[in-house]
Amino acid sequence: MILQIDTHSAQPLYEQLRDQVVFGIADGRLAAGEALPSVRRLAADLGINFHTVSKAYAALAEEGYIAVDRRRGAAVRAATGGDVPKFVGQLTLCAAQALCRGMAEEDFIELCRGCYRQAQEGGASCKK
């Protein structure tokens, strides 16, 4: 899987990396157990500071998406499932914005369904 970053975006590089890995896991490009490139390798490939990659990996590990082993590097973890989703706040904010624009419930639901399928099938990106 090829990660791409936009150095001109207002979004921090480490967040871009984190989001792209999440998208990769969601659409299956990154399977459970699969190894991620080493911090220094990925940093070299992208031409960025390895501290930035390290920060992205730390964020992903903290949220349970990957497991970091000091000797074997980082690897994708299996779906954790259970815990209360952290993103309901964001989702509610999206819903509030839709409501402000007068979007009906079913229209919002259709939009959500479209986003789910796009994330599932790949090709998704997130430019905040």
100 binds, among DNA, its own copies, none (CB under 5 to 8 A by kind): its own copies
3-state DSSP helix/strand/coil % of the chain, to nearest 5: 50, 5, 40
Q: Which is nearer to its own copies, 53 or 65 (CB)?
A: 65
Residues 126/27, Cβ–Cβ less than 8 Å = no
Taking the CA atoms of residue 87, residue 82, residue 84 and residue 5 in that order, the dihedral angle to the nearest 10 degrees is -20
Beta bridge partners of 66: 76
User: Residue 55, interface with DNA (CB under 7 A)?
Assistant: yes
d(CA 41, CA 44) in angstroms, rounded, equals: 5
Interface residue with DNA, options 27, 73, 118, 119 (CB under 7 A):
73
- Rounded to 5 degrees, φ, ψ at 35 are -85, 140
Q: Which is nearer to DNA, 109 or 126 (CB)?
A: 126
Q: How far is the CB of 31 from DNA (least distance, A)?
A: 18
90 binds, among DNA, its own copies, none (CB under 5 to 8 A by kind): its own copies
Residues 56/21, Cβ–Cβ less than 8 Å = yes
Q: Which is nearer to its own copies, 2 or 127 (CB)?
A: 127
User: Residue 4, interface with its own copies (CB under 8 A)?
Assistant: no
Amino acid 98 reads: A
Binding site for DNA (CB under 7 A): 7, 10, 12-15, 38-41, 48-49, 51-52, 54-55, 57-58, 68-74
